[in-house]
Chain A
Amino acid sequence: MLFNSIDFAIFLPVVFILYWSLVNKKLKYQNFLVVLVSYLFYGWWDWRFLILIIFSTFLDYFIGRQLKKENAKYKRKFLLWMSIIVNLGFLGFFKYYNFFLDNFITAFSFFGTTINASSLNIILPVGISFYTFQTLSYTIDVYKQKIEPTKDFIAFSAFVCFFPQLVAGPIERATNLLPQFTKKRVFNNQKAIDGLHLILWGLFKKIVIADSCAVYANEIFSKYDSMNSLSLALGAIYFSFQIYGDFSGYSDIAIGTSKLFGIDLMRNFKFPYFSRDIAEFWRNWHISLSTWFRDYLYIPLGGSRGGIKMKIRNTFTIFLVSGFWHGANWTFIFWGFLNALYFLPLLITNKNRNFLDTVAKGRVLPKLKEFLFMLTTFSLTAIAWVFFRADSISIAVNYLKKLFSFNFTNGVQYLSIERYAPELMILIIIFIIVEWNSREKEHPLFGKWIYLKIVFTLLGLITLGVYSNVNDFIYFQF
């Protein structure tokens, strides 16, 4: 079920009414309803893959319970590895089987050996990368005795499958989300209103910004070989805003929807395109994944404790794994590698924690230096997104070669679509201004003139939204 679909527009109010009127008396009922509707939400897409979620839920619940009982170190380790291997095994099979097989065959053919192995027609279960990481975080935290394993199976199931964040995050930690399912939720008017505003803003980002940019980005990327440099630069910019609007829009809707049910999810984006260096960008982009890798991969690998070599090795490891997490394609791995390269100078010079505060805090405009830093960071990110968006590394390289050939003949080339590029540029500029003005808050729909802001958001949704060509959320494929 898509957040921007009619199905969800019916599903959400029905669940909301049931939740707060029928089952609000007891915690068990609340959690039971959450599990039931979450399975319905997921099964709407493909009910067969519910089995995977249910299996993972059972496995990690019982492993958690066993970890509590076991004191022997090797047994505890065995249980931890069992959870890791089974969960990552599912992920590996469904997401990476064909990728490894193809590369295996290619590698052997390079040495003159032909292997006859046919790839499988595997459907990627939606959200598998997200809920796998979420359940793993529980088992690892229990193993590390950061949290007590829960006895309440229904609460644990609700933690694994909570529908707002089930298919595209934010990837929650058991330490934050699970305790919320062990206490009865009481309706909070202000929280619900804030949730509603966040949903509106998320929809705006998705339907107006991301989907409008998608029309142009798709057209430019599909015809990149006939485009001039200016068009290709615009293609990269449009895709940067498409992916931001799409994914942060989804996160906003997920967080907003959770608030309607009295649940607080972690923030996933903090205006990342206002970052002054790449380290700040990664602190503000897909925060739930970045911090997951930090806590469960970077730190266990030694983090920043060792020498510079170890720091570099660990940094490259998490960026490469992060790239691979996004998809079974070398383009994602290279995207991760490129970001690691961007990060390297900051790491070596120990400047990766230079910008921890909000940019231009308390000021209307940034200083020239800040502006140039933001522009540079955005440009570097947009270049990296080309690899993320392209179908292959060679296409991305050719795209960038053409972009940097500085061939501006014919100006912005005609695109065979009805909409017109200048309006989109104006829309993006307005969007940047709105986000800039609210960068010290969670979203722009707050404070003074709130009703006027809502009217403008709704007007934008009605008149500027792309309804002729409804797009899936990009991160569903991960």
Chain B
Amino acid sequence: MSQFIKYLFSILLLVIGLLYLCDIIYTQTYTNSNPRNKLQYILNTEDEIFDVVFLGSSRVANHIDIKLFDSLSHKKNINLGVEGAGLNDNLLQLKLLLDKNYVSHVFLQIDFNFERTSPSNISISEAMPFLRNKILKNHLKNNFINFKKLEYLPFYRYAINDPKIGLREFFFSLFNKKPKINPSIGFSPKLGNILPLKGQNLSETIKQNNSVINEIIEICKKNKTTLTLYTSPFCSKTKNINYINKLKIKIPSLIDLSKGYSDELFFNCGHLNNEGAKIFTTDLYNATKNKLN
């Protein structure tokens, strides 16, 4: 029996040792490799001056043609839209960005994301290798009930986020594989369209208030960063599009570009295709150029 207990403990020790070893190797790789996503890119920036930073979800990443915006505005701009990100994720991006850099203007995309204040697992999973970062830690600890586990259980943070930061992404980072989207530009156009478009449902009711937006407004004020809130286009089949009118009542300064775009310009109901993105980028520039100059 004692022989078996010894063997069992040696296996347990081996498991714990391997968990720590894997955690260390993964963390070292992610923290020292070339940025493969926008969060890593932000964490690697220091003493940079950005004229315009675009924040939001895939409705920013796919919609803002940054090179076109550069040529129109003659400024240094960056698209930091992340697929699946919510306002809480954008708040974290902003905090990290303003910690070591200067941003004169932030464009934040607002739509049905107004309904949520919690972080999205999709974009936050990319933050897991950097839990030792103070800003990140302070931001996340209030949002995750399992934060202690994430912080102290070896490899737990990588295991539960295996689709995003699992073995595959680890190897890509280890060998510095170039990402599909250059994070320093950030525009990822959608090509073609999936017709017929399936309508997207917006909420029938609107949330009273969104504390995350209030926090973003506060941070921008504190850092003397101009904040522009806008809404990207939806296709004609969108249900409850009246939601955007309700949003405008809540946020009077909101630049509403949600309507008036032909369905041909959409990849799917919530996302413009490449051609649509170019038209929208120009429209957004025209709608805000007075603020930019």
Contacts and interface: CB of A to CB of B under 8 A. Distances in A.
User: Does B associate with A?
Assistant: yes
Interface of A: 20, 187, 189, 192-193, 196, 417-420, 423, 454-455, 458-459, 462-468
Contact of B163 (A189, A418, A458, A464): A418
A14 B159 CA distance: 26
B168 A420 contact: yes
Given A189-B1, A455-B18, A468 B11 contact: no
14 contacts: A20-B1, A418-B164, A419-B166, A419-B168, A454-B14, A458-B11, A459-B18, A459-B22, A462-B18, A462-B22, A462-B155, A463-B170, A465-B162, A466-B162
A237 B19 CA distance: 31
Interface string B125-167: 0000000000000000000000000000001000111111011
B175 interface: no
Given A20-B1, A187-B4, A419-B162, 11 more contacts: A418-B164, A454-B11, A458-B11, A458-B14, A458-B18, A462-B18, A463-B170, A466-B162, A468-B159, A468-B160, A468-B163
B173 to A, nearest CB: 14
B7 A193 contact: yes
A467 B18 contact: no
B159 A455 contact: no
Given A417-B163, A466-B162, A196 B22 contact: no
Contacts of B155: 462
Contact of A189 (B4, B19, B164): B4
Contacts of B161: 468
Contact of B167 (A20, A454, A455, A464): A464
Which of A193, A418, A420, A459 gathers most chain B CB within 10 Å?
A418
Interface string B1-33: 101100110010011001100100000000000
Contact of B4 (A193, A462, A468): A193
Given A462-B18, A463-B22, A196 B163 contact: no
Contacts of B18: 455, 458-459, 462
A189 B19 CA distance: 27
A462 B163 contact: no
B62 to A, nearest CB: 15
Contact of A467 (B3, B160, B164): B160
A423 B168 contact: yes
B1 A187 contact: yes
A-side interface mostly: helix
A458 B15 contact: yes
B162 A455 contact: no
B58 to A, nearest CB: 12
Contact of B166 (A20, A454, A459, A463): A463
A192 B14 contact: no
Contacts of A454: 11, 14
Contacts of A420: 168
Nearest to B162: A468
A217 to B, nearest CB: 16
A248 B128 CA distance: 34
B14 A455 contact: yes
Contacts of A423: 167-168
Nearest to A188: B4
Nearest to A467: B159
B159 A465 contact: yes
Contacts of A20: 1
A454 B160 CA distance: 23
Most chain-A CB neighbours within 10 Å: which of B4, B7, B161, B163? B4
B144 to A, nearest CB: 14
Contacts of B162: 419, 465-468
Nearest to B156: A467
A210 B8 CA distance: 26
A464 B171 CA distance: 13
Contacts of B15: 458, 462
Nearest to B125: A468
Nearest to B167: A463
Nearest to B163: A418
A92 B1 CA distance: 45
A418 B123 CA distance: 12
B8 A196 contact: yes
B121 to A, nearest CB: 9
Given A20-B1, A189-B1, A196-B8, A419 B163 contact: yes
Contacts of A458: 11, 14-15, 18
Interface in B51-73: none
Interface in B166-207: 166-168, 170
A262 B1 CA distance: 12
Contact of A196 (B7, B19, B160, B166): B7
Between B8, B14, B161, B167, the greatest number of chain A beta carbons within 10 A of the residue's beta carbon is seen for B167
Contacts of A455: 14, 18
Contacts of A464: 166-167
A420 B171 CA distance: 13
Contacts of B3: 189
